[in-house]
C-alpha cells in the first residue's frame, strides 16, 4: 500500500517547504501501531565538472512502510491490512526529530503493548519502563 493519508485526505504532494513528516502506521489485522518519522529527500552525490557534489533527491517516502522489523514482518504477511497516516508535517530537521519523540511520548508507545515501538530515540526502552 503506497497511500498516505493526512487529515482524512490522500496525500499526492507534500506541503511547500516540508522536509518530512511524522507518521503512524496501523496494522488493521491486529490493531498494533508504529509511530516514526520520514524525510522527503535523501542525500546523494552527483558529478559536476568531474567533481562529486552533495545533492538531495526525493526519498521513496510514498512506498515507505516503517523501520521496525516486527512491523515489516507483519506487513510482508499481509500488505493490504495497514493504514498509513501522517500525523504532522515537519519544516526543519530539528523540528522533524523533536516531533517524532513528542508524539511517541504523547501516545505512550513504550507503555502500550499495542505499539511496535520498543524504544524512543535509542534512549528509552520498553524493557526498562514496563515492570514485569
Tell me the pLDDT tens digit for each residue of 98-120.
Answer: 999 999 999 999 999 999 999 99
How confident is the model over 18-43, as pLDDT tens digits? 999 999 999 999 999 999 999 999 98
For residue 96, the Cα-to-chain-centroid distance in whole angstroms is 10
Average pLDDT over residues 83-94: 97
The better pLDDT of the pair 31, 51 is held by 31
Amino acid at each position: 500500500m503506497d497511500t498516505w493519508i493526512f487529515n482524512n485526505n490522500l496525500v499526492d504532494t507534500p506541503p511547500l517547504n516540508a522536509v518530512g513528516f511524522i507518521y503512524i502506521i496501523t496494522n488493521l489485522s491486529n490493531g498494533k501501531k508504529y509511530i516514526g518519522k520520514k524525510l522527503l529527500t535523501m542525500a546523494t552525490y552527483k558529478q559536476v565538472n568531474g567533481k562529486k557534489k552533495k545533492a538531495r533527491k526525493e526519498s521513496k517516502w510514498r512506498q515507505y512502510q516503517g523501520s521496525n522489523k516486527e512491523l515489516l514482518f507483519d506487513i510482508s504477511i499481509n500488505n493490504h491490512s495497514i493504514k498509513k497516516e501522517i500525523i504532522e508535517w515537519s519544516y526543519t530537521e530539528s523540528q522533524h526529530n523533536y516531533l517524532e519523540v513528542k508524539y511517541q511520548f504523547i501516545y505512550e508507545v513504550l507503555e502500550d503493548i499495542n505499539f511496535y515501538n520498543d524504544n524512543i530515540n535509542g534512549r528509552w526502552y520498553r524493557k526498562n519502563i514496563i515492570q514485569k
